[in-house]
Amino acid sequence: MNWKRSLIAFAAGLPFVALLAFGMTRDPNQIPTSMPGQDAPTFTLPVLNAADTVNLARHAGEVVVLNFWASWCVPCRIEHPVLLQAASRYQDSDVHFYGVVYQDTEDNAQRWLNQLGQGYPSLLDPGSRTAVDYALTGVPETYIIDRQGKVVFHRAQPITDLAEFIQLIEAARAGTLGPAGASS
Amino acid sequence: MSARIRSRLAALRTAVARAALPVAAAVTLAGAPLGAQESPVHGEGNVIQVQEETQLERDVRALASQLRCVVCQGLSLQDSPSELAQEMRGIVREQLEAGRSQQEVKDYFVSKYGEWVLMEPKREGFNLAVYILPMVMLFGGVGFVLFKARQWSTPAPAPADGPAEGR
C-alpha cells in the first residue's frame, strides 16, 4: 500500500519538478527577441558631429550592420575593436556599418570614439525611438539587415569572435542567413 | 456716546477701509483669470483641452501599467524611473495621440519584444496554466487539509477482536 502512495506522490510531483527544472535552464535576464525575420524598421537619423543624416532606405539591396552602443557601456569597449576590424574589411563594399549612440551625450560619444577609434559613422537616436523600434533592451546590441531589408541577425551581447561575425555577414550577403538561429 | 469716541470710531473705519482696498483689488485681479478659465463661456476651448489632456494622461498611465519595463526587474513602464521606460511612455503617448487604439499600441510593443512585454500574459493557450494552476493548487490544498482534518477528528474504529473492551 505504501509503495502505491509513494508512486502516486511521485507521479503528481514529477511535472512540477520538471517545470522548475525547465525554469532553471532559462536565463531570466535574457529577453526573447522577435526581430530576426521582421522587416528592418526604417529610420532617418542624424550623424554624430556631422551635418548629415542617414536613411536606411538609402541602402536598399545592400547589407547593413547596426551596432547600438554608449560611452558608459563597458562591454562596448570589448567588442569595439572586433567591429572596427570587420568594418575595415568591408570598406568600399556593399556592407555598411553604422553605430547608433544609445542614451549618451554627443560629447561623451565623440570622446569615446576619439579614444577607441572610429571606423564608421555613428548615428544619434533622440528619444530612443529607433532603439525601441529595434526592440533594444540594452547595449551593446548588434543587428544585420540583409539585401531584402529584413533583420536576419540580432545579438544582445558583445561581438567578440571576429571569424564568426564575418561568417554571419557573409551569410547575410549570400542571403543564406535565415531568422532561425540568428538571434542570441 | 461721546463725540470723541464717535470721531475715533470713524477714523478707525476709514483706516480699515483703506487697508482693505488694495487687498480686495488684488484678490479681484488674481481671481479674474481663474474665473475666466473656469467659465464655460469665456474659456470653453481651454476647458475642453484640459479634459482631453487628462483623458490622454489617464490612457497613457493605464497602458504603461500593462507594459513591462525592458531594462528593469518586474517593473511596469509606469512604475520604472529608468530613462528608457520614460521614453517608452513617450512612445505610448505619441501613438495614442496619433489616434491609435490601446490595443494597437500594445500590439506594437508585443511585435517588438514579444508577449514578454505584457505585465499580464494573455489568457489563452499554455498561458492559461498561470491562471488555473494556482486555483487548482489552492483548492487541492484546502481539500487535502479538510480530508486530513476529518480523518484526524474521526475516532479510530475499535479492533475487531476488541481485547481492550474486556478490561
Query: What's the pLDDT at A148?
Result: 95
Mutate to test the interface with A, among B68, B69, B84 (most CBs of A within 10 A): B84
Q: Give A101's strand partners.
A: A69, A124
Task: Quickly list H helices, A25-161.
Answer: 74-89, 106-116, 129-133
Query: What's the pLDDT at B26?
Result: 46
Query: What's the pLDDT at B25?
Result: 47
Query: What's the pLDDT at B80?
Result: 95
Q: What's the whole-model pTM score? A: 0.71
Exposure string over B33-58, b if 16+ CB within 10 A, otherwise e: eeeeeeeeeebeeeeeeeeeeeeeee
Query: What's the pLDDT at B165?
Result: 47
Is residue A64 within 8 A of residue A145, CB to CB? The reply is yes
User: What whole-number distance in Å separates Cα of residue A105 and Cα of residue A122?
Assistant: 12
Residues near B66 by beta carbon (within 8 Å), at least 6 away in sequence: B76, B106, B118, B119, B120
Residues near A138 by beta carbon (within 8 Å), at least 6 away in sequence: A156, B71
Query: By a Cβ cutoff of 8 Å, what residues of chain B touch chain A?
Result: 70-71, 83-84, 87-88, 90-91, 111-114, 116
Q: What is the pLDDT along chain B (167 residues), one digit of tens a residue?
A: 455 555 555 555 655 555 554 444 444 444 444 433 444 445 455 555 555 567 899 999 999 999 999 988 889 999 999 999 999 999 999 999 999 999 999 999 999 998 889 998 888 888 888 888 889 999 999 999 999 999 888 877 766 655 544 44
Partner residue facing A32 (CB), from B71, B83, B114: B114
What are the phi and psi torsion angles at A160 (to 5°)? -120, -15
Mutate to test the interface with A, among B70, B72, B106, B107 (most CBs of A within 10 A): B70
Q: Among all chains, which residue has been given the C-alpha cell 539591396? A: A61
User: What whole-number distance in Å separates Cα of residue A136 and Cα of residue A134?
Assistant: 5
Is residue A152 within 8 A of residue A53, CB to CB? The reply is no
Is residue A177 within 8 A of residue A146, CB to CB? The reply is yes
User: What whole-number distance in Å separates Cα of residue A151 and Cα of residue A68?
Assistant: 14
pLDDT tens sequence across A45-84: 999 999 999 999 999 999 999 999 999 999 999 999 999 9
Point out the residues of chain A with pLDDT beneath 50: 181
Query: What's the pLDDT at B131?
Result: 85
Binary contact (B70, A32; C-beta < 8 A): no
Query: What's the pLDDT at A1?
Result: 58
ipTM of the complex: 0.81
pLDDT tens sequence across A159-170: 999 999 999 999
Sort out which chain B residues have CB atoms less than 8 A from A131's CB and list them: 84
Partner residue facing A135 (CB), from B71, B91, B113: B113
Binary contact (A32, B71; C-beta < 8 A): no
